[in-house]
């Protein structure tokens, strides 16, 4: 099973890379009235070069999905797909500046742990549960699972991931 790497994130001096699964196109994002936003735009600061800082955590995220390009204030192109292990290899390739990657002049990208990944989830919205003003042109997905680097305790073949459609956390088998 292939997994697309969708975003990168970094926290000085370490960089993070986020991974998610793709599916068919979906409907419009829903942010019901009465629900407090957990990642409002005021919690983000432009970090330049297609990156944004989530100020409550200090995490700096790549605004575009891996495979997409940041240009003229938005993300363009299609996302790329990798297996779980391939996501780690892709982070290494990005760090090495391999052609076709965007490292934003940093060389310490990696897959985030579950807590770091959860800090990006917009709990006041769904389809997707992400701040679309900070992450524009979010890839159209119905199964938008983000891999974490956090293994499930007691299991060598499971890792935690988050479904950004409905904010569901699960522990599927990692595809190799």
pLDDT in tens, the chain (176 residues): 444 444 454 443 334 444 443 333 445 888 999 999 999 999 999 999 899 999 999 988 899 877 888 999 998 888 777 777 888 898 999 999 998 888 888 888 888 889 998 998 899 998 888 899 998 887 665 446 677 898 888 887 888 887 776 666 766 666 54
- Tokens 């292939």, residue? 2
Domains of the chain by residue range: 3-170
Global pTM reads 0.76
Rounded Cα distance between 44 and 156, Å, is: 35
Chain centroid to Cα 42, Å, comes to 19
Residue 75: Cβ within 10 Å count: 21
Instruction: Report the phi/psi class of residue 48: left, alpha or beta, with left for phi > 0 and alpha for psi in -120 to 50.
Output: left
Token pair of 120, please? 């990006």
| H or E element that contains 63 | none
């Amino acid at each position: 099973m292939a997994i697309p790497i969708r975003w990168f994130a970094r926290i000085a001096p370490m960089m993070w890379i986020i991974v998610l699964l793709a599916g068919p196109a979906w409907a419009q994002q829903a942010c019901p009235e009465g629900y407090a936003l957990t990642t409002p735009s005021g919690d983000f600061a432009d970090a330049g070069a297609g990156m944004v800082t989530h100020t409550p955590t200090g995490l700096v995220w790549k605004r575009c999905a891996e495979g997409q390009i940041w240009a003229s204030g938005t993300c363009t192109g299609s996302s790329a797909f990798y297996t779980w292990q391939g996501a780690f290899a892709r982070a290494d390739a990005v760090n090495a500046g391999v052609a076709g990657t965007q490292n934003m002049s940093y060389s310490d990208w990696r897959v985030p742990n579950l807590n770091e990944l959860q800090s990006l989830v917009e709990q006041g919205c769904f389809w997707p549960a992400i701040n679309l003003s900070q992450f524009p042109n979010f890839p159209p997905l119905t199964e938008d699972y983000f891999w974490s680097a956090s293994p499930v305790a007691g299991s060598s073949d499971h890792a935690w991931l988050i479904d950004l459609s409905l904010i569901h956390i699960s522990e599927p088998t990692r595809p190799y």
